[in-house]
Structure 1
Amino acid sequence: MIASFPYLIVGLLFLFGLYAVVFERNLIKIAIGISVIEAATNMFLIVLGYRTGGRIPVFTLAGESKVLVLPTPQALTLTAIVIGMATTALMLSLIMVLYRHYGTLDVREIRRLRG
């Protein structure tokens, strides 16, 4: 059970973010939900790369018999953090433009005022 605890936390975070994206009507809350989904994805990548009793790969004196932590998920996570930051900035800038144009952040109102 303890070995699957990080996966449970990642799943719960993903579901909270998905709930915010699907059921919220405020654009800011939807953007926060997408950011939570990104954080859950990053946590999942880190959990996949973890090895019990593993050493960091840059430690060259680990020897052949030691288990090393996988560096690839860590590199992917760093890349995903940068992409997530750019995505969040783009979302928030689009939300600001929509607020200036329509005067509301409610998705229903923006759809209704479309025509």
Structure 2
Amino acid sequence: MMVPNLVLCLLVGVLFASGVYLLLARSIVRALMGLLLLGNGANILFLVASGPAGRAPIVGASDVTDMSDPLPQAMVLTAIVISLGMTAFVLALAHRSWQLSHHDVMEDDPEDYRITIKAERNDMSDSDFSQAEPRSEPTDFEGDPGSTG
């Protein structure tokens, strides 16, 4: 029977909560810190869920029941590589934002604002399915445009 470490479980919860809070910020650097905290929380969660520590998983070196499971460790290594790639990408975004506007706060896009206003009014006149343009495919969903039946 496996009994997880309560301190590590609480640490995972605090890292996830802090990461989500920071990820929802408008600042790119805060969002990056949130991504890093979420990644570290997921890594600790993998290690907590993997069970107790054991001997190295080398066949013949020890009894099979005393060996640790290598899969969670491999998943943590993969998550570290993915976190490194995401960190590099978000740092590049933050650097470009600083070059263009001298701050790292994400501004509202005017097009997003226009779409939000239209969605609130339920006005889809500028949508992709505008009636001003003739459509070549059937509109009653009877079949594919290229089907013969």
- Alpha-carbon distance, 1:12 to partner: 1.1
The alignment's TM-score, normalised by the length of structure 2, stands at 0.64
Q: Which has the larger radius of gyration?
A: 2
SS of match in other structure, 2:108? helix
Distance 2:95 2:27 in 1: 13
Equivalent of 1:10 in 9, 12, 15: 12
- Higher helix content, 1 or 2: 1
C-alpha change, 1:25 and 1:42, in structure 2 (3 Å) is same
- Alpha-carbon distance, 1:9 to partner: 1.1
Where in structure 2 are there 5+ consecutive unaligned residues? 112-149
Distance 2:14 2:23 in 1: 14
Distance 1:8 1:48 in 2: 13
Task: Pick 1 or 2: higher relative contact order, CA cutoff 8 A, min separation 6.
Answer: 1
Distance 2:80 2:4 in 1: 27
- CA-atom RMSD in angstroms: 2.2
Maintained 8 Å contact 1:51/1:67: no
Question: What is the number of residues matched between the two proteins?
Answer: 109
- Alpha-carbon distance, 1:30 to partner: 1.2
The alignment's TM-score, normalised by the length of structure 1, stands at 0.81
Taking the TM superposition and a 5 Å limit, the aligned residue runs for 1:67-78 are 67-78=66-77
SS of match in other structure, 2:68? coil
Q: Which runs of 4+ in 1 moved over 2 A?
A: 1-5, 58-61
Give 2:77's aligned amino acid. Answer: L
Distance 1:41 1:14 in 2: 8
